[in-house]
Amino acid sequence: MAQFYGTLLVLLLAGHSQTAKLRLQLMWRSFNCAVNTDYISQHKCLILEADRSLLTAELHYIKDVAKYNATFKLLMPQKPNTKFQKVIDVNVDICQFAKGVHGHRFMTVVIKAFGKQGSQLKCPHPKGLYVYPNINIAENLPAFLPETEFRIEMNFLTTETHLLNTSLAGFLYNSQKKIGKLI
């Protein structure tokens, strides 16, 4: 009986949260960066410990970059516990993107997540220290995404070389449902 009410509560909460525009929580498992040391002398890629939903990156560019691209891949399992498959795979010219040309919806999500620092993603990209605190991807994700594990691979590259490769792993979960299950 207790189990029945528990289930009912979960259903009610799930139903309620859907009408109240369900916003899933995001938790990062890992954030790795590999840099081309001809361009970037020092870097930090961190998951902020508080609730593991925010990222911080610091990159010290020692060379100017005239123009560059960003590639963005989103991978998810089709069903729980199956192989990760590419859901999104885009290659965006940042110089064009900054001008509002060839906008891609998911790229827009990603750039928005950088907050005010997003404006630093433009051309040319002068050398110097770039700090991107509190990158909040969760807040900008579309609401239709399911609860799932996912991976993101985002690289920055020029026609000659890769500047920075990042790989992220995380998962989306419904925190309200978790509360329901505990009761």
Closest approach of ligand NAG to the CB of residue 92, in Å? 6
| 36 is a site residue for ligand NAG (CB under 6 A) | yes
The token pair at 116 is 């005010």
For ligand NAG, the binding residues in 131-170 under the rule CB under 6 A are: 155, 157, 159, 162, 165
Q: Binding ligand NAG by CB under 6 A: which of 32, 78, 91, 134?
A: 91
Least Å from the CB of residue 86 to ligand NAG:
14
- Confirm if 129 and 152 have CB atoms less than 8 A apart: no
Query: What tokens appear for 83 in the block?
Result: 């192989």
- Determine which residue in the list 35, 75, 76, 135 makes contact with ligand NAG, applying CB under 6 A: 35
**Three-state DSSP class for residue 139:** helix
Kindly report each contact of residues 15-19 with a partner whose C-beta sits within 8 Å and lies 24 or more positions away, as own/partner: 16/176, 17/174, 17/176, 17/177
Q: Which of 14, 52, 53, 93 binds ligand NAG (CB under 6 A)?
A: 93
